[in-house]
Structure 1
């Protein structure tokens, strides 16, 4: 998995730089030619050349391995597109790479931008092939990057920017080639008629082969090698199929389903073949544990788990009889039980994006609630109650969002908010959360001057803030599902908000947050409090409204 990611990143870096070089054609051909000098200096460096061509070879071999190992049933559409595009690219780019690169190796003569663009422009089929190859290579790379990086905490913050870049870069590159091709005079006007000929007939230019090298023959041999590699994989799949056709195994599920599959089929693939609802949020790549099963009985030894599976199982503290169904490929009859069994109606979660499926990260959680609001609401008109709440939320939500937080959910007359760690680090995030709390308290006091006159009431807010790990993911069912945070950190923040009410203060903050914020706290009450659901007491700082507003 890591080898596929690393080789893919190297090739994607090359393609990106190549596209940016093409985009410079929109400014001027001279600028593109100057940039090409630096581009060649980097990638023709022996070390970079070995990395590039080695990555290209390894990535293609890994793609063939995937084609051999994986069943097509149950693959996501994005995965199918990625595989098909990846396997098609060598056929599309071979002609361009061979006829643009080998003359340099054999003759030491470099093509220029105008010559290459003219060749593609005059030879319409070649131009169409290269345009298709550019789009397919970019889509293939972007899908791979998304699968590899979308679990990262920073990805969500920059997702829109990255999406814009993914659209702009290939558009500019293709636009540069298109505009340059349209500007070129006819080939016969400059004495390069041969550039419009098929590659096998090029002569007398930088595209000519060296005396000892028949480039056209090399091209034919390359296509034969590709066909041979693909044919070999398909042949091996056929051999495996016929060999296993009489040696199927039976996978029995604890709820009674039976599926006959060839030996070596993963349990997850067996579920797909048998139309059994089976969670697989990461798409069967071993990155999540939702497809895990408990092995109840096996008629023979099971394949040992690989490092990726072992790491995932260790993270969830799985029992010894638990395996990831996407990685388990039995060769004997097997009896398993799904540990996470979809409810009636099927798997509603495996189609979620990687950002939605659940990831652990450190966040600050704030709970803000109105003190005694139930008493305030008694005997009042429903319209007045709604007005009071909306007036309160109209100052609370902007204060949170202005500090870089987001409201996670509304809970009656209170809210839960999340502050994620930004580019400026943890200290800044803690200070932003404290600043939001101070702003809420100050604005609530201003609101009270109006409410006292109109309703004769005085709103008092109680806030709790804590920092720690939480699970962020889609929680709920159907249209009611929403992205939220769960875990001990959320529970502690809620208990701190309750403690603020209990001790009649405006703000209760865990000592962890105050230490990380590195802010003065002279005169602030500090207590060791037992929190419901925790065995150990926690050090909590209690702020009056005046003390909290020092952090504005």
Structure 2
């Protein structure tokens, strides 16, 4: 978090300077005036403290991160970002120390004229150093900003389409303005009067100032070089220490066994052994694409820290799923990689918590139009499609309004799921509420089509609650979230049973139990379902409200049953809805 925050501050600092440099395309005077405003803003004491904190924090945390890496198996993008980040202090050293440091230490007045003169008049090498430093800082910042923001909604919604254009246009305009202003200063520097005024405003009275400033720059270079060298030495020492540490075995369910030294993460083990492993964010614990399922472990793993917990909660991961970049096994462990190793940012955004399958207790609904095939024999294809679409739209809107999901349309019917993102009781109640509202919507649809139909549309609905296997199944564009299992088969059989029972709605006892309704046993019937040894207890009704009548007659206690959209309907009106 500190590294990200400090990086954002520094990126804004670079952006402010780039914007100011671009004004050099207008005139040297406009550039100087804008430069004074910029310097006043960054010279404000709280802002200055924030800037220096960001500069020190970002550099130190970057060095610490490199020192703590257990291997250097990183992507080309990460190599570019790290290389640019380490080069920036050396490229920008003369500029930074010749302006801000010289002002604070020696009282020099670092105006934009001074920057341009010292860059374009003193030595051509400074032109190359400044330009290279600005470009390195900009590219490094853009990569960091992209890595931080690419999973955020605002980036995908509006920033991504224009991000590449801005990332290219801003430095181009800035460098063009900087070079244009430099050429003007080169012409002005030929005027002795201009140079006399420049030296007077520079406020350097002691010639020894430049010698001291140069010595300070040299000392700073040694300090920076020593810090980088320390990182290299620490890497060598840590590698030597790891060779003497305890070895553990990481077994991949669909891959090899890797023997590594204890203390590293599973992702580091994968990278070090050349095992393909997804990691879109580069192992920073942000994207969740490196997640693994723990199959077996010899020693209990340490619980996830706060940052990892937030990511796992966001994807609703079960307890045995961890981020490989954060999981440090204490003993032998067996894991399964849950995402393909070639997952990209684009595909990672669409990854759902159900991508790899999970058991879930849900309520499954099957709906089918009665005798629709016979009805379509005398109709034109256009009319058939129109009727199906009207029916699907009306029923689909009801399901979605109650929090359900249309799993698939099956010609003149469909399958829906309730409870994908909710608990058992709310799911069962929502399914019952949907069934009641759908029956009312079908009556409304029949009234709208009264002149088009020889007889009203009729449908059967089957509801069953039980354990299903939820997962994204299929291939290509046909891939999507669906449910399979015995519960789905029973729900389909209950919908078919409405024909035999002469009712609109067939509900299993499991739905009644899940919704916590109290219905007398005498109201139950039992049917045989293919593939099940025992019969299934069901309730055949014409409307969910019919379930309350036997309960009241039996004097059973009332409870908060499902809310029905069609509450104004008479109790026996279900008969003319079938």
1:58 Cα deviation (Å)?
1.1
* Residues 291, 325 of structure 1: 8 Å contact kept: yes
* Residues 92, 133 of structure 2: 8 Å contact kept: yes
* Map 1:245-394 → 2, pairs under 5 A: 245-247=243-245, 249-253=247-251, 255=253, 257-278=256-277, 280=279, 282-287=281-286, 288=288, 290-293=291-294, 296-298=297-299, 306-309=305-308, 316=317, 318=319, 324-329=323-328, 334-338=331-335, 340-342=336-338, 347-349=341-343, 352=346, 355-358=349-352, 375-376=371-372, 380=376, 384=382, 388=386
Moved more, 11-20 or 162-171: 162-171
In structure 2, the partner of 1:36 is 35
Q: Of the candidates 215, 218, 230, which is equivalent to residue 216 of structure 2?
A: 218
* Residues 102, 108 of structure 2: 8 Å contact kept: yes
CA deviation profile, 1:19-49 (whole Å, cap 9, x unmatched): 3323344455444433333322221122211
Q: Cα gap change, 1:183/1:477 in structure 2, threshold over 3 Å: closer, same or farther?
A: farther
The DSSP-based 3-state class of the residue aligned with 1:253 is strand
1:145 Cα deviation (Å)?
3.2
1:232 Cα deviation (Å)?
0.8
The gaps in structure 2 that reach 5 residues or longer are 193-197, 355-364, 398-404, 417-440, 460-470, 489-494, 496-503, 507-542, 549-558, 568-578
Alpha-carbon distance in 1 for matches of 2:175, 2:291: 46
In structure 2, the partner of 1:102 is 101
In structure 2, the partner of 1:182 is 180
* Residues 21, 178 of structure 2: 8 Å contact kept: no
* Map 1:50-89 → 2, pairs under 5 A: 50-72=49-71, 75-89=74-88
Alpha-carbon distance in 2 for matches of 1:456, 1:119: 92
The gaps in structure 1 that reach 5 residues or longer are 195-201, 361-368, 400-406, 417-440, 462-473, 492-497, 504-524, 531-535, 545-552
1:60 Cα deviation (Å)?
0.8
* Residues 267, 325 of structure 2: 8 Å contact kept: yes
The DSSP-based 3-state class of the residue aligned with 1:291 is strand
Alpha-carbon distance in 1 for matches of 2:472, 2:132: 40
The DSSP-based 3-state class of the residue aligned with 2:110 is coil
1:228 Cα deviation (Å)?
0.9
In structure 2, the partner of 1:145 is 145
| CA-atom RMSD in angstroms | 5.6
Q: Cα gap change, 1:355/1:305 in structure 2, threshold over 3 Å: closer, same or farther?
A: closer
Q: Cα gap change, 1:485/1:37 in structure 2, threshold over 3 Å: closer, same or farther?
A: farther
Number of aligned positions between the proteins: 449
1:109 Cα deviation (Å)?
4.0
* Residues 25, 177 of structure 1: 8 Å contact kept: no
* Residues 109, 201 of structure 2: 8 Å contact kept: no
In structure 2, the partner of 1:517 is none
* Residues 8, 55 of structure 1: 8 Å contact kept: yes
Alpha-carbon distance in 1 for matches of 2:36, 2:176: 22
* Residues 18, 174 of structure 2: 8 Å contact kept: no
* Residues 111, 206 of structure 1: 8 Å contact kept: yes
Alpha-carbon distance in 1 for matches of 2:478, 2:31: 50
Alpha-carbon distance in 1 for matches of 2:51, 2:209: 26
Q: Cα gap change, 1:414/1:42 in structure 2, threshold over 3 Å: closer, same or farther?
A: farther
Q: Cα gap change, 1:294/1:410 in structure 2, threshold over 3 Å: closer, same or farther?
A: closer
Q: Cα gap change, 1:309/1:295 in structure 2, threshold over 3 Å: closer, same or farther?
A: farther
In structure 1, the partner of 2:112 is 113
